[in-house]
Amino acid sequence: MDPHSGFNSLTKTFHSLRPPLNLPQEDTLLSVTEYAFSLRANSPWPDSVALINPVTAQRISYSDFIRKTNHLAGYLQKVTKLSKNDVAFVLSTNSIQVPILYFSLLSLGVIVSPANPVSTESEISRLVQLSKPVIAFATSSTAHKLPETLKHQAILIDSPEFESMTMSSNYAIDPVTVSQSDLAAIMFSSGTTGKVKGVMLTHRNLTAQVAIACSFWQQRESPAVMLYTMPYFHIFGFFYCLKSVALSEVVVVMERFDMMKMLKAVEEFRVTHTALTPPVVVAMSKGGLTDGYDLSSLEGVLCGGAPLGKDAIAAFTARFPKVGLIQGYGLTESSGSIFRTSGPEECKHWGSAGRISGGMEAKIVDPETGEALSPHRAGEIWLRGPTIMKGYIGDPGATSETLLKDGWMRTGDLCYIDEGGFLFVVDRLKELIKYKGYQVAPVELEQILLSHSDIADAAVVPYPDEESGQVPMAFVVRQPQSNLNQAQIMDFVAKLVAPYKKIRRVAFVDSIPKNPSGKILRKELRKVAVPTGSSSSLRPPVHLPPEDTPLSATEYAFSLRANSPWPNSVALTNSLTGQHIFYSDFIRKTNSLAAYLQKVIKLSQNDVAFVLSPNFVQVPILYFSLLSLGVIVSPANPVNTESEISRLIQLSKPVIAFATTSSVHKLPRLKYQTVLIDSPEFDSVMTSSKHQLDPVRVSQSDLAAIMYSSGTTGRVKGVMLTHRNLISQVAISCGSRQQQQQRESPTVMLFTMPYFHIYGFYYCVRSVALSEMAVVMERSELKKMLRAVEEFKVTHAALTPPAVVAISKDGLTEGYDLSSLEGVVCGSAPLGKDSIVAFMARFPKVVFVQAYGLTESTAGLSRTEGPEESKHWGSAGRLSWGLEAKIVDPETGYALPPLKHGELWIRGPIVMKGYIGDAKATGETLLKDGWMRTGDLCYIDEDGFVFVVDRLKELIKFKGFQVAPAELEQLLLSHPEIADAAVVPYPDEEAGEVPMAFVVRQLQSRSRLINEAEIMNFVAEQVAPYKKIRRVEFVNFIPKSPAGKILRKDLIKSAIPSRL
């Protein structure tokens, strides 16, 4: 077990690092009241004050409290005839009578079932049906809400008769044997199903919670004075009632919360501790509110109900530096708090709900796979221990969904635990709305809304509110011709629910987003609840063929090519040999090769073809032949290692491979044929007319390609692109070109990008559609590129940022005639303003185009067009036609307005189908309403220009290639002499970025510590050349966030100054 986090790597369980609980034996006959009184008996203050009414200043001492409890229990047993396992329903506001009532009932073995007194009659009727009480205790203001079905007449606890019951000594109580396994309480909790559930808590559950509270107790000179703002019907109020007696605390009982009265009570009764909801903590932190009150007695504030933000904690701590802000986490189902901070040091872990209590265990579980996770990974938190409920009364289905057979309880909350064992609550899987600490079930309100005759459909989500934390917001679809307004809806609901459940906002919509099973997609509604930053393309519309038209990407490209003003221009040029292939030859070779592959190789629709080749003029012909057959093209980088290629083949599962004489040896031993595309046999196949091609019907929704993309997980992913994706990208390019002036001769495009890359693959198809002449370079080399521009009169080139920087420098381009160059498109990584200025100063007549895209978006999704847009330096241009974008706050999920930074989401016809064989990654990236998360931090300005700020995915861009830091980190950590490691991008003028490793060496692993060269060689032997580590720095530790995430920005900041 890890001594810092309590994590057992074998069982994947987090254990408590607190001292063990001193619990009575489980088979000992003992009620929770007996246990609390037994602890109270050892108090250093034999007869201190137990309860204070702050309104009247009435005080009840502990001797009076015990006497009143016994008298009332005697009366209830002898006169009212209450007996063990009866259920007592309690409907009361906070008063000093309630703790006396609770203790009396529990001592008799009666099951206490308290409810919120502001609930409506219909709500209370439902609770009574669940708990089936034999008696009710209410107040004169709540008794009218009780149903007539209760067995005994209700007892009013604010009546003189009740007071006399607590004073009378006429009835001696008969001893009652209570087992710890007996039910003590039925507490009510709302679920996401809309059904209120009755949580069954035993005496053992509550005894364990009292024992946990006592484990945190520290010696004092006088009793702690606790201000009770939480209601007694709530689990925390109920439990605090018990633990205060055990700890001999003085309890100041507020009937209902009022900020000014609370502050006055703290001053008047010298309160030392209180429990507050996050909105109250926020309010107290603001200037002026607490002025004029003496709060110097306050030692600690416990905050729960919902996570408290770091800014709010900082503000509170600054205003009350001597007050410990204690955060906790718990549920009704766990009998109260399970995690909490303890002491000044733990309270400094801002945002954390503390460490797990003694006697408890926790797991963080992936909600999709059920896999238990290690520290720093977010998942659903499961709990196990003596405080966990017995189940939900009368609801075996909900019980079995929540309580697992080995004692684990699923909480429905998304959390993680860091390396110090501190819990961080990320989100609520249960989707409950937390209004001032109360739980509001969206479905309950939705059911009420749907009962309105003018409402066709509805959904309720939380809306952020500074005062309340969250308020319920309704999205409503009105019936046709209905004029129902916001005020009418809010009034309708308010009459049927408790005040804290009222709808506070209403938005009218045309439809409610739902998944295929009919579940409301609340997250999508939350994103549009706050003013959104959704943007649509400002480009002129582009004509796309109807989606259901059978059409391959090659057919579409050839159909556009048929309208070319240059019927037989050059299609391909080999930059080394000067060999030209005209379009007539290109089409003939494509058809001949396709027929051969169909008739001889027996390739058929939906087969996968793996392609491992550098840039050759044969590659576009191969691609077009395969795509015309409906074969799925899967190209890979030929410099990959054999093990990397083996992984790619496992992903794509090809039936054939196309390679070259220099790359074929890297292919695993395959059961299928391998064709060498640089062989004489391949060339003869392309020129043969022996075989006639049978027509193939390809749908636009069919897969066209599996392209490879690295993610931050270090795993290579196979991106599935359809013919529709490619057709859409080609249509966008053609539409863009049509907006420009007609040309007198074809564009001459220099192909420096590799054909296995998404841009090379897409440009291959696009060039045919636009009748471009493609000058194909086998590999990118700057001087050869300049020579090609001069020799073949290149008009356009796609370059990486390092290449743009290089040709902007004095002297490098001298001696080359680059006057034919009209435009340069630059993507792959953002290019700095200084670099753009230098390029435009050197080539003032060349239009500099910046673009942005991903493999998952079938290449470019935004770009600058024309001289005016190119002046937006640093921008990646405007969205392509047919696309929508959102900038989304990565933490809250809210869509943001212009100029706000967040993750870029896109939607449109170029978005991939998903990741092959990786449903989880697909689900994380593609949302059900068509949005795709890019993982890139961006903003969009008021004119619709996209600016890429940073990469959330943290990929390193080396000469246009993507390098995943996590992949290299995993390799480094596999070395026995490396204790920890992190990889970051280091700026490099030639390559753009290079991988730099920060390494923590193992101490005393050998007489001589591992050095920089050994590390670089170790990695180089296992990865492709572009992934090699190029720099190493040794450090004492890797900086990480509380969640354990590497702080790469800090490393990048420290790396650059040290080298400049």
Does 707 map to a domain? yes
User: Does 929 fall in a domain?
Assistant: yes
Reduced to 3 states (helix: H, G, I; strand: E, B; else coil), residue 704 is: strand
Q: Is 678 helix (H, G, I), strand (E, B) or coil?
A: coil
Report the alpha-carbon distance of residue 1044 to residue 1040 in Å, rounded. Answer: 5
| Mean pLDDT in residue range 429-447 | 76
Query: Residue 119 pLDDT more than 90?
Result: no
37-53 pLDDT per residue, tens: 999 998 899 889 999 99
Query: Taking a C-beta distance cutoff of 8 angstroms, is the pair 961, 636 a contact?
Result: no
| Most confident among 174-183, 513-522, 825-834 (mean pLDDT) | 174-183
Tokens, residue 269:
């009764």
Say what the pLDDT of residue 1042 is.
Answer: 43
Helix, strand, coil distribution of the chain in percent, nearest 5: 30, 25, 45
Q: Tell me: do 813 and 877 sit in the same domain.
A: yes
Same domain? For 963 and 873 the reply is no
Q: Across residues 439-462, what is the average pLDDT?
A: 83
pLDDT for the residue numbered 152:
64
State the pLDDT at residue 37.
95
899 & 1015 share domain? no
SS3 label, residue 318: helix
Query: Do 793 and 733 reside in the same domain of the chain?
Result: yes
- Site of tokens 């050994």: 1014
Of the residues 914, 940, 966, which one is the last residue of a structural domain?
940
Mean pLDDT calculated for residue range 890-904: 82
Structural domains in the chain (count): 3
Give one word for 701, left, alpha or beta, with left for phi > 0 and alpha for psi -120 to 50.
alpha
How high is the pLDDT of residue 516?
44
pLDDT, tens digit (0-9, with 9 covering 90-100), for 855-867: 999 998 999 887 7
Torsional class of 85: left (φ above 0), alpha (ψ -120 to 50), beta (otherwise): left
pLDDT number for residue 533:
46
- The CATH number given to whatever domain includes residue 981 is 3.30.300.30
Cα dist from 641 to 39, 533, 548, 648, whole Å: 69, 43, 41, 11
Q: Report the C-alpha dihedral over residues 375, 377, 382, 383, rounded to 10 degrees.
A: 30
The per-residue pLDDT for range 320-367, each reduced to its tens digit, is 999 999 989 899 999 999 999 988 888 888 878 899 999 999 999 988
In this structure, are 787 and 754 located in the same domain?
yes
- Position 507 scores a pLDDT of 86
* pLDDT for the residue numbered 466: 64
Closest CA to 68 of 51, 82, 80, 84: 51
The predicted-structure confidence for 614-646, as pLDDT tens digits, reads as follows: 999 999 999 999 999 999 999 999 988 898 899
Mean pLDDT of the chain: 87
Q: Say yes or no: 889 and 1001 in one domain.
A: no
- Chain centroid to CA 317: how far? 29
Q: How confident is the model at residue 739 (pLDDT cuts 50, 70, 90)?
A: very low
Percent of the chain, pLDDT > 90?
54
Could you read off the pLDDT of 127-143 as tens digits, one per residue? Answer: 999 999 999 999 999 99
Residue 708, beta-bridge partner list: 718
**755 and 852 both lie in a single domain:** yes
Range of the domain at 440: 433-523
Query: What is the per-residue pLDDT for 946?
Result: 92
Question: pLDDT tens digits for 654-680?
Answer: 999 999 999 999 998 756 689 999 999
656 and 515 in a common domain: no
Same domain, 610 and 704: yes
pLDDT at 114 over 70: yes
Q: What is the CATH number of the domain that holds 735?
A: 3.40.50.12780
1009 and 907 in one domain? no
Q: Write down the H helix ranges in 843-964.
A: 866-870, 919-925
Residue 896 domain flag? yes
pLDDT of 194 strictly over 60: no
Of 5-19, 73-87, 455-469, 919-933, the one with minimum mean pLDDT is 455-469
Confidence of residue 871 (pLDDT cuts 50, 70, 90): confident
Instruction: Identify whether residues 830 and 900 lie together within a single domain.
Output: yes
The dihedral built from the CA positions of residue 676, 677, 683 and 688, taken in this order, carries a sign that is positive
Greater confidence, 435 or 173?
173
pTM of the model: 0.49
From 915, 940, 965, give the residue that closes a domain.
940
d(C-alpha 465, C-alpha 502), whole Å? 14
In this model, does residue 949 exceed pLDDT 80? Answer: no
Would residue 341 count as lying in a domain?
no
Percent of the chain with pLDDT over 70: 91
Please state, in angstroms and rounded to a whole number, the distance separating the CA atoms of residues 100 and 58.
15
Residue 497: half-sphere exposure toward Cβ, Cα within 13 Å: 24
User: When comparing pLDDT for 16 and 429, which is higher?
Assistant: 16
- Bridge partners, residue 455, by sequence: 478
pLDDT at residue 232 above 90? yes
DSSP code of 753?
S
Long-range contacts of 734-741 (CB under 8 A, 24+ apart): 734/542, 734/560, 734/766, 734/769, 734/770, 735/539, 735/540, 735/541, 735/542, 735/543, 735/881, 736/539, 736/863, 736/865, 737/770, 739/540, 739/865, 740/866
HSE value, Cβ hemisphere, 13 Å, CA-based, for 269: 33
Measured between alpha carbons, how far is 109 from 87 in angstroms, rounded to an integer? 9
Q: Is residue 50, in this structure, part of any structural domain at all? A: no
Higher pLDDT pick, 517 / 537: 537
CA gap 1009, 459 in Å, rounded: 62
Q: Alpha-carbon distance 964 to 1044, whole Å?
A: 18
Is the residue at 360 inside a domain? no
Residue 457 lies in a domain: yes
Place of tokens 């989304």: 888
For 676-735, write each residue's pLDDT tens digit.
999 999 999 999 888 999 999 999 999 999 999 864 334 689 999 999 999 999 998 886
What per-residue string of b and e applies to 848-874 under the rule 16 or more CB within 10 Å gives b?
bbbbbbbbbbbbbbbbbbeeebbebbe
Q: Is residue 803 part of a domain?
A: yes
In angstroms, rounded to a whole number, what is the distance separating the alpha carbons of residues 140 and 161? Answer: 12
Q: Are residues 781 and 926 in the same domain?
A: yes
CA 520-523-525 angle, 5° bins: 75
Per-residue confidence (pLDDT) for residue 976, from 0 to 100: 82
Asked whether the predicted pLDDT for residue 400 surpasses 80, the reply is yes
Of 881, 915, 940, the one marking the end of a domain is 940
| Structure token digits, residue 1014 | 């050994």
Distance CA 915, CA 926 (A): 10
Asked if 598 and 694 touch (Cβ cutoff 8 Å), the reply is: yes
Structure token pair of residue 282: 């926020």
C-alpha torsion sign, points 929, 930, 932, 937: negative
- Residue 832, pLDDT above cutoff 70: no
